[in-house]
Chains A and B, each alone.
Chain A
Amino acid sequence: MEIPYTVKPRPDTGLYNAKLGIWLFLASEVMLFGALFSSYVLLRVGAEPGTWSMGLMDLLVGAGNTMVLIASSMFVVLAWAELKQGNLAGYKKWKWATIACAVLFLFVKWGYEWPSKFKHYDVWLNNATVLQEKFDEGYHEVASHGDHGDAAHGADVEKYVKKIYTTRFFKEESKDSQLAFDDAWRNGTLALSGHINAYEEAQIDVRITGWKADAGVSEDAADEALVKQLAKQDTEDAAGLRLNGGYLREKTDYDTAKRAEYALGQAGFTVALSVAGYKRVEAHPWMWRTKRATEDIGGKPRVSSIVFELDYSHHKGIITLDAGDIKRLSAYEPKHSTFFGIYYTITGLHAAHVFGGILIMLYNMLPIGLGLWHRDREQFTNRIESFGLFWHFVDLVWIFLFPILYIL
């Protein structure tokens, strides 16, 4: 079956079919992104003062990525112009340039912007006094700016924290920002922002405290399950452990301990986990949530303390946070706040469009896609024009996203 009007315009619409199709698709896209944009505005306007972290966005990266996308939008239309003139080599040149720009855009987004946020944390404490002590400890050196000879304390630190807070949530100081900050400072609802440099991770003892013969598991099967969890696989040890109880593993890691607890629980054992001690781990962990640090293991937290490097402290504000003081801990991931929720939704949907575009462009560069050029040049040119319309739309969305996300 031959598809009609791939080259000639259909008399009643005045367009070749693919072009009308792509415009209709773009119309549906306008409504899709329009719904998200208006949701963003709704959430932005309705946000409580001091909850919209727009000051965290790196404007330079945003502007750079805008330029990259603008360039790609221009290259794609130049590729089409080359085809119009019958120049396949010119088309390939511009198309590769477009693909390179699109890949660069996604690389910046998925390789730098997002991952750096997943390692960046806010920590809320459950005590205003402790919070102020931590601010003092972390910022007393940088807050002084050398004006005071010695390091600054108290009011100077408060001023420094206020500046960071205002830039992040309000950009400029105003009556609203003043009120919101005073409130948050007094009530201790401010977050400590920065990176986790190291932490004290629990070393866990796994102890067998009993075995229920009536749990529906045979002795042999229970011993077999036990052997699997032993460090040294020895059947005699297993029988002894089952009858008398005792330590299965000592100072093991969380995953091993939890796995043993679950598997042995299935085999009718009762298992007790306890923290034998803590081992320091030097790492910048990804995507931690509150429970990852504070989970209770036999009465002690999984992480006893966190070595936290505060933002804007020029690497001097390194403080230690006890797990007991932590109310909430979250990386800058979607669940962090409404702001990051809508931020990842919109930029994620846009990035998915860019990714899809790259796949289509690659198809149109491969022999299978180029085959059409050799069969019907005009149809291929139209196909590239239709793709170009989609690609310009992706650029258009970003043109609006840039001021909304990075500036407002």
Chain B
Amino acid sequence: MSKLDSKIPEGNLEQKWTKYKSSVALVNPSNKRNLEIIVVGSGLAGASAAASLAELGYKVKVFCYQDSARRAHSIAAQGGINAAKNYQNDGDSVYRLFYDTVKGGDYRAREANVYRLAEVSNNIIDQCVAQGVPLAREYGGMLSNRSFGGTQVQRTFYAAGQTGQQLLLGAYSALQRQIGLGTVDMFTRHEMLDIVKIDDKARGIIARDMVTGKLERHFGHAVLLCTGGYGNVFYLSTNAMGCNATAAWKAHKKGAFFGNPCFTQIHPTCVPVSGDHQSKLTLMSESLRNDGRIWVPKKQGDTRKGNEIPEEERDYYLERRYPAFGNLVPRDVASRAAKERCDEGYGVGASKMAVFLDFKAAIERFGKTQAKKMSIDNPSPQQIKEFGKQVIEEKYGNLFAMYEQITGENPYEVPMRIYPAVHYTMGGLWVDYNLMTTVQGLYCLGEANFSDHGANRLGASALMQGLADGYFVIPYTIGAYLSKEIAVKPIPTTHEAFAATEKEVQERIDKLFAIKGTKSVDHFHKKLGKIMWDKCGMAREEKGLREAIQEIRALREEFWKDLRVTGKPNEMNPELEKACRVADFLELGELMCMDALNRSESCGGHFRVESQTEEGEAKRNDDNFSYVATWENKGNNTYELHKEDLIFDVVHPSQRSYK
């Protein structure tokens, strides 16, 4: 247990962060100039951290696998970002945002971290507006808010359905400014393939130049991993094609413990799978549940089109089961409810694995209000529909267009078909209050770490956490470590540790090419994804998890015997890039199943069939599982479990209810 010191400051919850900030060690400006920081990943967490640290005077190097920092997958976040501004005067507060987040996470997050997150949420909005991020506004010129799942206040700030894009471009502009000022060196089309440790401290990375294929050594006094989640273990997810776990996994194998790997968020509203060719799944923002109503036919196996099914033959199952929150229940609850209906034979569409998300009522409601605004007394149904469509288009236009592109159906006219898909991973590298992993000098920010969201993340909280970590947490907490490093001169990359690590990486690459098998990388990735989705997806049980572990082991063995990587190592080679990533997914997948097997309770997104209430809701077991399951890699795919007990001083865990 001594290995896990969460370093949560003493004192009242409300004062921990304030006191911490006034007592944490500082690094003076002349010393900052001599300290080098490596940031891997350029999404919200990485870009905001890199820009903020460079502004403070540190020398920063940033790495991303895309051709520009602006392309990191934070860009795809649609709905919004939460903050406790209480601009709507609807009773919001830092405490409420904190409470909703802890409850939404089904009481599996650290109180102190979540409270800090809620506290800095307001600074994020201020910062973004100052940067020129064009968030949505009301006619009076003030910022607009919308609702999101799992809350009863309107605290979500947004920019149409492109909030992630606008926030990332804000952080990216701050980063580009520092690049222009010469304080940040940017390495695009570079992928980190290992961590370099010297005397048990992280001191650099080995990165592959993806254009030339050359391996490079880079030194840093500290290394920040801001590399996102590992949803692509499932092959099909809402992640970008390149999202991967390699940086985090390599760090894990070098001593960083992995926290709650089985905590995966399955997002309820995604465009359903259309065929075997499917390469990724597209999210339809949760914000759509503000105005859309989710339903299935009351009759099993109903083959009629959505519009042909009369009102009284529709089952608005979320409104029926959860009258208090209705269509805005948290994601885990909504996903399971959709799966339950489809498994029972009420699903719609060709595959029968979909439910309807219907905007007919909203179009009518908005249309009528709009007609009133325009002083049209007796609007025709046609006018109402037209006006309503205009309002919907302004709110969700890009999402509706996206849906039509993918499915060939017009969602203004027919209800959308949606189904849950893997979206976000709450698990990740274990970090302490400073965001440091169990490796000295190695930090982890954003989705890549395990903290803050417990067993289920609420909508519009990922952007909040990424930017909180990068803008407002790491600039303070990194001082606690770097203030002790000021005497350390930059270590030349000729150091034996760099040479040895580079050799390891080179040998791994050579080994992949040496297999000369017959099956492509995608072949193995798809197989792994299917095992994970079937047995470690929305419902998990002991038997299936045990099978999955065996199947993944067999698949991994086959991978190392029969993989084919075409081309050469020293060239631009996407097959090699994928092979490196899938090799890691094949190990991480097994650990996810082991973690899911260990946690025989249900909580949040983790649903163990054996642990449910009579009504089929997730049943927690606080007596035995109120801890962070933290796994240490012992080599050869063996792991040791360490537990960080979760202590709730302020919030009292109760059975989560959204009824």
Q: Do A and B come from one complex?
A: no
